[in-house]
Amino acid sequence: MPFRQQLVWRGPTIEGQAKRAYGEGRVFYRANRGVWCIAYYKDGKEIRETVGTDEDAARKLLKRKVKAKEREDFVTPHEQRITVAELLDARETYLTNKGAKSDSWRSHIAVIRLHFGMDRAATVTADRIERFIAEERAAGKSAATIRNELVEMRAAYRLAVKQKRLKPQVVPYFPMPTVSNARRGFFEPEDFEAFVQHLPADYADTARFAYATGWRKGEIVALTWEQIDHTAREVRLYDSKNGEGRTLALDGDAWAVIERRWQARSYTDRKTKQTHLSPLVFHRKGRPIGDIRKRWNRALEAAGLPRGSKLFHDLRRSGVRDMIRAGVPQSVAMSISGHRTVSMFLRYNITDGKDQRDALQRTAELRRQRVASAPKVTTLRTAKS
């Protein structure tokens, strides 16, 4: 029997009766399933819901739905069925297609999927998220890690809103853990020189370039000779973590490193014993610079510094701070280091007790000089009459 003949109309459209006004919806009976259904329109689309065997219950539900669908917080049955796992799937597809620079999002999404995957997206509340935070902290995770996990979950919701799969009203409030992420580590020049002498030449050049420019490790180790313009003394970064490329005019220590790497282009293949030229500026016998933590910690100990007390990223922080100390304008320093926002840049512009003492001493000295150079004012007595 055709589907159209299986629907038994129970609405007031019999001849002689007024037709139901548009937008009031309808109630119909599906004989093949033996249930009553309702249908109504929202944003020009028909929404159907199965109610049950009670016709009166179906009519009452239709009245409530017709009235509720005009509210901003109305959630359609389809939106109610969407799970958090579906939102995460869309987020993963989006990041993969975008070519995200880091893969850390995969582990963060995996954690959210484990805790929230089967939940209906529309039913997740701030209280549910608070319980998740408590569970993660009890498991020993740091506030920064938990925050990164929730950032991916929140981004999945926002993507669903952009794709018009969810309404903004469905997105829950995300209580984020407070993270104290001010950057603390940096190299003083004397510590850096004592340390870098104990690194192999290829690692040392990588560290010196980072110290001079404030560039990220990933940007440095991926540099190829195609990006170096010897005539103009420039290096061109086609892409970076912030999604933007940049060009850096080199001089001083940074250019000296490039000159040394040019002389170190050739390497001998250990298997074939043939000599090749590396397309990478920074390489280890033709191979990309990878994990250097073992050599790094050995060099720290040899320089009299505690093992693990300095990180490679400290070179970036030190580069930014020292540029500001040297009087480099903030906009120029940001163009060199690749910081896109001022707020992120200022997190790397670290001050310490020495900076503060120097500032107070310079301020006091300036005031003494102003007092000493101020003209002397002599008060003249007026003659008594």
pLDDT exceeds cutoff 50 at 243: yes
Predicted local distance difference test score (pLDDT) of residue 64: 78
Predicted local distance difference test score (pLDDT) of residue 92: 93
Predicted local distance difference test score (pLDDT) of residue 9: 47
Integer CA distances (angstroms), 298 to 27, 116, 195, 196, 318, in order: 78, 43, 9, 11, 21
Report how far Cα 181 is from the mean position of its chain's Cα atoms.
14
Report how far Cα 276 is from the mean position of its chain's Cα atoms.
39
User: How does pLDDT run across 127-169, given as a tens digit for each residue?
Assistant: 999 999 999 999 999 888 999 999 999 999 999 999 888 888 8
pLDDT exceeds cutoff 90 at 232: no
Predicted local distance difference test score (pLDDT) of residue 103: 75
What band does 359 get if pLDDT is binned at 50, 70 and 90?
Answer: low
Q: Helix and strand tally (H, E) in the chain?
A: 16, 11
Predicted local distance difference test score (pLDDT) of residue 14: 35
pLDDT exceeds cutoff 80 at 213: yes
Ranked by mean pLDDT, the top range of 55-64, 92-101, 146-155, 303-312 is 146-155
pLDDT exceeds cutoff 60 at 3: no
Helices in 3-116 by DSSP H: which ranges?
3-6, 55-68, 77-81, 84-98, 104-116
* Percent of residues, the chain, with pLDDT higher than 70: 79
What kind of fold does domain 84-170 have according to CATH?
Answer: DNA polymerase; domain 1 (1.10.150)
- If one compares 262 and 344, the residue with the highest pLDDT of the two is 262
What band does 184 get if pLDDT is binned at 50, 70 and 90?
Answer: low
Closest CA to 185 of 342, 302, 309: 309
Predicted local distance difference test score (pLDDT) of residue 201: 93
Task: Summarize the confidence of residues 12-41 as an average pLDDT.
Answer: 66
- If one compares 218 and 10, the residue with the highest pLDDT of the two is 218
Could you give the count of Cα atoms lying within 13 Å of 353 in the half-sphere of its Cβ? Answer: 0
Task: Summarize the confidence of residues 278-296 as an average pLDDT.
Answer: 91
Predicted local distance difference test score (pLDDT) of residue 304: 92
* 3-state class (DSSP) for residue 309: coil
* Percent of residues, the chain, with pLDDT higher than 90: 31
Candidates 2.40.340.10, 1.10.443.10, 1.10.10.10, 1.10.357.10; CATH matching 189-348:
1.10.443.10
Task: Summarize the confidence of residues 164-192 as an average pLDDT.
Answer: 81
Q: What are the extents of the domains in the chain?
A: 3-70, 84-170, 189-348
Integer CA distances (angstroms), 143 to 114, 148, 174, in order: 19, 9, 14
- If one compares 34 and 9, the residue with the highest pLDDT of the two is 34
**Do 84-170 and 189-348 share a fold?**
no
Range from 7-21, 179-193, 309-323 carrying the lowest mean pLDDT: 7-21
The answer to whether residues 227 and 236 touch, using CB atoms and an 8 Å cutoff, is: yes
What band does 24 get if pLDDT is binned at 50, 70 and 90?
Answer: confident
User: How does pLDDT run across 71-109, given as a tens digit for each residue?
Assistant: 655 666 667 778 999 999 999 999 988 877 677 889 999
Element (H or E) spanning 174, and its range?
A: none
Mean pLDDT (the chain) is: 81
Task: Summarize the confidence of residues 110-127 as an average pLDDT.
Answer: 92
User: How does pLDDT run across 318-354, given as a tens digit for each residue?
Assistant: 888 888 877 777 777 777 777 766 665 666 555 555 6
Predicted local distance difference test score (pLDDT) of residue 74: 62
**pTM of the shown model:** 0.53
Predicted local distance difference test score (pLDDT) of residue 13: 40
Predicted local distance difference test score (pLDDT) of residue 5: 41
